[in-house]
């Protein structure tokens, strides 16, 4: 094997029960993973909450913050009961077993690779939290809280846990096929992006869209949240090395480089096209760069990161224009064109820029760029199809039990007062 395939080998070791207790805890790696776990949780609370909160109108800011906070609490409990087991226990190629339900066997001295299994489980929990939280951006400002919660719980169980097992489980069918998703291009970004698109279509546009202007109410809040996302993403990507070593360092470097490239090219496109670069545009470009580099972050070098980041800014910019201006689909906070399109693009570019010929860390022995590209395409399409079909069914079922759509009157009054009896501001 070439030296960089060691990243997946390390991941397999961390996930496989056969390796539990096989080596002593690496205190340096453990310290980095504890830090990374905190950084990824920071991405949701308060990073994503503030990012999304600033983008909605004044009367709905608390509803977004509440959704992020509530999802964090409920998902954490589900993870302990059976979520970790379904995602990372050995079972079948499609779903893990239940031998680790209630975190059975996850003790103080149990080890996953070179880190405590408690740390690995907590690290992966933060990924499970942020993925459904991303989806709420697709139907922001028009969804009832009860329906949103029921949908998110069912989606987590039916969509997220299986896909996480496919890609990262020790016997997942995509993992065994050699699919490369270092930190969540498929599991998080394609998964959430497609789900957000389907939800936006099923629930429908906000009242007044696209004819009524719906500008962000607080871009200062959005930039603050975006800045926290940028910092937290180092834990997201570099933490996925599951070690404190050169692989983690390269992942951090390429993550930052791609974010900078995405932000810069989005700013440039707006400057040329509209005559003024916007604050909203530059932070959106940054998120596009981060989402697109995510699957490739453990396999590419700086050259690949620059190209991936620039590509992300261009592709995701025009995807947002297509969604809003041409198709008039109200994916309120651009989840699909940024995360879905970006994640899909990044998965494909992983095959190209993993190659040592492009400054990458190398493909597996005997695998060509074309062969890896086919594998990447299969994984990305499988994730998109499963997420889209399952999301559609879940939305239809949930709507029978707990109606998802708020009434036009409630939308006009604002979800903060109608659903939570509170206001974000007293001015």
The reported pLDDT for the residue numbered 6 is: 46
Output the DSSP codes for 371-383. Answer: HHHHHHHHHHHHH
2 pLDDT above the threshold of 60: no
What are the tens digits of pLDDT across the range 135-153? Answer: 999 999 999 999 999 999 9
How does DSSP assign 303-347, residue by residue?
A: HHHHHHHHHHHHHHHHHHHIIIIIS----TT-HIIIIIHHHHHHH
pLDDT of residue 5: 40
pLDDT score recorded for residue 48: 98
Q: What angle do CA 236, 30, 251 make, to 5 degrees?
A: 35
pLDDT of residue 105: 95
Cα separation, 229 vs 49, in Å, equals: 10
Least confident of 18-32, 111-125, 163-177, 226-240: 18-32
User: pTM of the full predicted structure?
Assistant: 0.94
In this predicted structure, the answer to whether residue 255 has a pLDDT above a threshold of 70 is yes
Evaluate if residue 1 carries a pLDDT over 90: no
The whole-number average pLDDT for the span 350-365 is 94
Distances (CA, A) of 142 to 59, 221, 415, 421: 11, 21, 8, 16
The percentage of residues in the chain with a pLDDT greater than 70, rounded to a whole number, is 95
Chain segment 376-407, per-residue pLDDT in tens: 999 999 999 999 999 999 999 999 999 999 99
pLDDT digits (tens, 9 = 90+) for 266-315: 999 999 999 999 999 999 999 999 999 999 999 999 999 999 999 999 99
Distance of CA 230 to the CA centre of its chain: 13
Question: Would you place residue 17 in the very low, low, confident or very high pLDDT band (cuts 50, 70, 90)?
Answer: very low
Say what the pLDDT of residue 4 is: 41
Q: Give the distance, in angstroms, between the CA of residue 403 and the centroid of all CA atoms in the same chain.
A: 26
Residue pair 294/237 in contact by the 8 Å Cβ criterion? yes
- SS3 at position 148: helix
For the chain, the structural domain boundaries read 25-206+213-403
In DSSP terms, which residues pair with 405 in a beta bridge? 143
Q: Into which CATH architecture does domain 25-206+213-403 fall?
A: Orthogonal Bundle (1.10)
Residue 211: count of CB within 10 angstroms of its CB: 6
E strand spans, 42-135: 111-112, 115-116
Q: Tell whether the model's pLDDT for residue 16 goes beyond 70.
A: no
Residue 35 has pLDDT above 80, yes or no: yes
Residue among 295, 245, 297, 281 nearest 113 (CA): 245
β-bridge partners, 273:
none
**143/132 Cα distance (integer angstroms):** 14
Average pLDDT of the residues in 193-215: 96
- What is the reported pLDDT for 24? 87
Asked if residue 14 has pLDDT above 90, the reply is no
Q: Is the pLDDT of residue 11 over 90?
A: no
Alpha carbon distances (Å) from 78 to 3, 84, 156, 163: 37, 8, 9, 16
- Of the pLDDT bands very low, low, confident and very high (cuts 50, 70, 90), residue 427 is confident
Q: What percent of the chain has pLDDT over 90?
A: 93
């Amino acid at each position: 094997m070439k030296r960089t395939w060691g990243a997946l080998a390390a991941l397999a070791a961390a996930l496989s029960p056969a390796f539990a207790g096989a080596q002593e805890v690496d205190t340096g790696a453990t310290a980095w993973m504890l830090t990374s776990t905190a950084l990824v949780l920071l991405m949701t609370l308060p990073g994503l909450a503030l990012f999304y909160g600033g983008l909605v109108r004044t009367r709905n800011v608390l509803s977004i913050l509440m959704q992020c906070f509530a999802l964090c609490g409920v998902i954490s409990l589900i993870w302990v009961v059976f979520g970790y087991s379904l995602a990372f226990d050995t079972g079948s190629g499609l779903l893990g077993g239940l031998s680790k339900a209630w975190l059975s066997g996850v003790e103080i001295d149990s080890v996953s690779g070179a880190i405590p299994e408690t740390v690995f489980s907590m690290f992966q929990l933060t990924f499970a939290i942020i993925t459904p939280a991303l989806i709420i951006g697709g139907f922001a400002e028009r969804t009832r809280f009860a329906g949103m919660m029921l949908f998110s719980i069912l989606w987590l169980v039916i969509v997220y846990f299986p896909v996480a097992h496919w890609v990262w489980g020790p016997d997942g069918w995509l993992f065994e096929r050699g699919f490369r998703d270092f930190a969540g291009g498929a599991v998080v970004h394609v998964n959430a992006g497609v789900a957000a698109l389907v939800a936006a279509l099923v629930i429908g546009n906000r009242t007044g869209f696209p004819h009524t202007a719906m500008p962000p109410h607080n871009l200062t809040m959005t930039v603050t949240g975006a800045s926290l996302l940028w910092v937290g993403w180092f834990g997201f990507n570099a933490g996925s090395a599951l070690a404190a070593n050169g692989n983690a360092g390269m992942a951090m470097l390429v993550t930052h480089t791609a974010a900078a490239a995405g932000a810069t090219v989005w700013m440039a496109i707006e400057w040329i096209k509209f005559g003024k670069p916007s604050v909203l545009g530059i932070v959106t470009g940054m998120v596009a760069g981060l989402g697109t580099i995510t699957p490739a972050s453990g396999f590419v070098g700086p050259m690949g990161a620059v190209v991936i980041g620039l590509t992300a800014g261009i592709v995701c910019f025009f995807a947002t224009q297509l969604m809003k201006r041409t198709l008039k689909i109200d994916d309120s906070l651009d989840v699909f064109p940024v995360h879905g399109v970006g994640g899909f693009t990044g998965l494909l570019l992983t095959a190209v820029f993993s190659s040592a010929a492009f400054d990458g860390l190398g493909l597996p022995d005997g695998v060509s760029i074309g062969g890896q590209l086919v594998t990447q395409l299969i994984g990305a399409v499988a994730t998109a199809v499963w997420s889209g079909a399952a999301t559609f069914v879940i939305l239809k079922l949930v709507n029978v039990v707990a109606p998802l759509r708020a009434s036009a009157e409630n939308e006009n009054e604002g979800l903060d007062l109608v659903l939570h009896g509170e206001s974000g501001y007293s001015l």
